[in-house]
Amino acid sequence: MNDMTVSPITTSLQGPAPEVGVTKDMVRRGLIVAPLIIAVCGVIWGMNGAYSSAYGIAIVLVNFALAATLVAVTARISLGLMMGAVLFGYLVRLGLIFLAVLLVKDSGWISLPALGATIIVTHLGLLVWEMKYVALSLAHPGLKPSRP
């Protein structure tokens, strides 16, 4: 009988964090499109819709920033920790979004349809928009290199 124990080797990743660059790019694009989203919600739902839309955009951009931070920080410590942080971080971030909506749902300035639409459209819209700029190559992880 073999008494050898095998312990999994958990390594960390060093070097640049491409997820941070991608997220910064998404946040920049989110800030570019934010006035348009706020204006559309303002036209449809009035000033409460505009306020709700601005709040929803802030929720989405903070969510993306938290996700990138979790991955970047934990990848430098351990890949196992990173995987756990991604899984449970997703659940925690969903809980934070739920809490952010729950805290303001009865406020006078909130329009729940505007807030919900903004959160959904902004999440999906920024992810789809960013797909055009992400390099799907291990040679250039993160954003595609700019052409001279």
Higher pLDDT, 142 or 34: 34
The model's pLDDT over 41-83, given as tens digits with 9 standing for 90+, comes to: 999 999 999 999 999 999 999 999 999 999 988 888 888 888 9
Q: Which residue has the higher pLDDT, 18 or 104?
A: 104
pLDDT digits (tens, 9 = 90+) for 79-97: 888 899 999 999 999 999 9
Residue 2 confidence (pLDDT) above 80: no
- When comparing pLDDT for 100 and 148, which is higher? 100
Residue 15 carries which DSSP code?
S
Q: Spell out the domain ranges in the chain.
A: 18-131
Smallest CA-to-CA distance from 111 within 65, 46, 62, 58 is with 46
Which of 136, 128, 133, 121 lies closest to 21, judged by CA? 133
Q: Is the pLDDT of residue 25 over 90?
A: no
Helix residue spans in 1-148 (DSSP H): 18-77, 79-104, 112-131
Point out the least confidently predicted range of 4-18, 20-34, 43-57. 4-18
pTM score, whole prediction? 0.81
So what's the pLDDT on residue 4?
41
